[in-house]
Amino acid sequence: MPELWGVINVTPDSFSDGGRFLDAEAAIAHGKRLLEEGADVLDVGGESSRPAGKAHGDGFTPISATEEIARVVPVIEQLAGELRARVSIDTVKPEVAEAALRAGAAIVNDVRCAQTPALAEVAAAGGAEYVVMHNRGRGEVRPPHTNYDDVVSEVLEELLRGARRVEAAGVPRALVWLDPGLGFAKTAPQSLALLRSLGRFQKTGYRVLVGPSRKSFIGELAPDPSGGAPSVDDRLGGTAAAVAHCVTARVEAVRVHDVHVMRQLIDMMKALAEPAEGAP
C-alpha cells in the first residue's frame, strides 16, 4: 500500500489552503495533526507552485530564497526534530534545499523536473531522496506547454531524462522518485490519461509518487450537478477516487491534503484485498 505524504503549505497563496499555515506555529500544529492522522511523510513548501491557467489565473508569485528559508526552516526543525517526522522539502532553490536538509529534511521534492543541476547536487551531498516531478515552464496549463503528441510517452521520457540528470549529480537511483505532475502543464484529459497509465511509470523501476489531491482537473472531470466546477474544498470524493486508483496501480506514494480520509481509504482497500477469514 502506498505511503501517504501530507501537504503543509507555509505560504499565503497556494491553490488549496494558502494562508492557513503561513504562521510557523500553525504549520507545526498542522504537521502534528497530519502525523496523528497517519501521514508517513510531511511535504513542506514555502513557495506556492500553483500553475497559471484557467483555474489559477497568473499562477504563483515567486519569492526570494531568503524568505522561503525563513518560512520553512523553523517548521522543519520542529517536525523533523521534536516530532521525528520524515520530512520532504518542496522547493526548486538549491539554497532552500540545503537549509532544509540541515534542519532535518530527508527528501527534496523538485517540481521543475530536475532542471537545476545544483539542486540535485545539494541532495546528493546531503544523502537525500529526490522527487522528479514532471513539468514544463512554470506549469502553465496552456499552449505551448500543453502541446503533446502522446502525453504519456512524452511525460515519461522527460521524467526519465530528469532522473538521469539527478543520478549524474550523484543521487543514487534507489533514492529517486518519479511524479507525473498531474495538473502541471497538462489539461484535465491529459492528467486523466496519465492516471490511467500509471503502470508504465511503475515499469521503469523507479518509485512513483502521485499528487491528485483537490486539483482542478477533478473539478473539470467531475462537475457539480449544475455543471459548475466544485470548489477546492469540495473535491474530496474525486480525490478519493484518484487515490483509490493509485492504490490499485500499486504506486509507492500519494501526496494529499486530507490524510485522515485517505488513510481510511487505503486501510479499507487493504482489508478488502486480504483473504476472507476461513476462506479456502
Bond into 94 cis (ω within 30) = no
Question: Is the CA virtual torsion 259, 263, 265, 266 positive or negative?
Answer: positive
214 grid coordinates: 483537490
| Burial of 279 per CB tally in 10 Å (0-12, 13-18, 19+) | exposed
**Whole-number Å distance between alpha carbons of 243 and 254:** 7
Annotated catalytic residue: which of 50, 86, 93, 215? 215
Annotated catalytic residue: which of 165, 207, 214, 255? 255
CA distances from 94 to 89, 97, 117, 199, 222 (A): 11, 5, 9, 32, 38
Q: Is 255 a catalytic residue?
A: yes
* Residues identified as active-site: 215, 255
